[in-house]
Amino acid sequence: MLLEVKNLRTEFKLKRGIVKAVDDISFTIDKGEILAIVGESGSGKSVTSLSIMGLLQKPGRIADGEILFKSQDLNKLNKNELKKIRGNNISMIFQEPMTSLNPVWRIKDQIMESIMTHMQISKKEALARTIEMLDTVGIPSAAQRANDFPHQMSGGMRQRVMTAMALACEPELLIADEPTTALDVTIQAQILELLYKMREKFNMAVMLITHDLGVVSEAADRVIVMYCGKIVEEADVRSLFEKPLHPYTVGLMQSIPQIDDESEERLYMIKGMVPNPLNMPQGCAFSDRCDHSMERCTKEIPELKEVSGRKVRCFLYEEGGTAGK
């Protein structure tokens, strides 16, 4: 086991109250595995990744839980100890490469800085490594493009630069936060293929954060579905797509456009809105939007329980629930 997150709680203390952005989640990632975390905006996906990386900004804080990387609790490390791991053993591709790259530094300087921070090599060797990585991620004329500034590259090329930077020190775990957002479908496919190849080449694990189920179906081995800071379902990717269990997951699946659907019916949409994080309902956070909601759902929060080799947080699958019959 490479990474184990235990009962993680991440909060944002605001003037109007406390937002539980990540509310008691637990999961593991094995070496060489691609784990996808999916959910709507505000579900806690990105906050989970920032918690792991130790990059939370105030007023955010980890209120409870453990983040064990190779049995070492990252939450107990000081800044210098964490800095040695971040970018070296664990790397991250951020959501928007244009804002993640320094606009006044050349591409080569940004990647070289990352390499020389973690690897004891000369500037000449770091430059050679930079060009090698740019070539590895599919940037043509890598030696020349290394001299470019970020604004001289397309969105897809900037994403490749971010990927090259993240992979330069051959991390054991790569966290990719929405790596295909705002890219056209051709570039999306290329980025996903690149991540898959890098996984095979470096035997690294990938935590893929996305709201795009199409991306999940192509790339992931296992999937975690989050809603309002909690895990509502966890399964291997094939099981999830063949038979989603949680009503929220079912709704997400039904919202995917089907090419062979010749009906003129409007695309399915989950009713209602995500609840205000400062005013969460007493029971299940999805109860107001769920077609199967029972009185119990509005008063109690279901536990995440194992059902047929997977996990689901729903009273329908507890003993006596209608879905279990």
Residues 276 and 188 in one domain: yes
Residues 15 and 128 in one domain: no
The per-residue pLDDT for range 244-286, each reduced to its tens digit, is 999 999 999 988 777 666 666 777 788 889 999 999 989 999 9
Q: Is residue 96 part of a domain?
A: no
Angle CA 71–73–75, to nearest 5: 165
Cβ contact 9:23 at 8 Å = yes
Residues 84 and 190 in one domain: yes
Answering whether pTM is above 0.85, one says yes
Residues 161 and 186 in one domain: no
CB atoms under 10 Å from CB of 190, counted, come to: 18
Q: Is residue 99 part of a domain?
A: no
Nearest one of 63, 60, 68 to 29, comparing CA atoms: 68
Q: Which residue segment(s) compose the domain that 139 sits in?
A: 105-170
The per-residue pLDDT for range 178-201, each reduced to its tens digit, is 887 767 777 778 778 888 887 888
Q: How far apart are CA 288 and CA 281, in angstroms?
A: 9
Residue 288 CA to its chain's centroid (Å): 26
Sign of the alpha-carbon torsion through 258, 263, 264, 270: negative
Residues 43 and 166 in one domain: no
Residues 297 and 187 in one domain: yes
Q: Is residue 94 part of a domain?
A: no
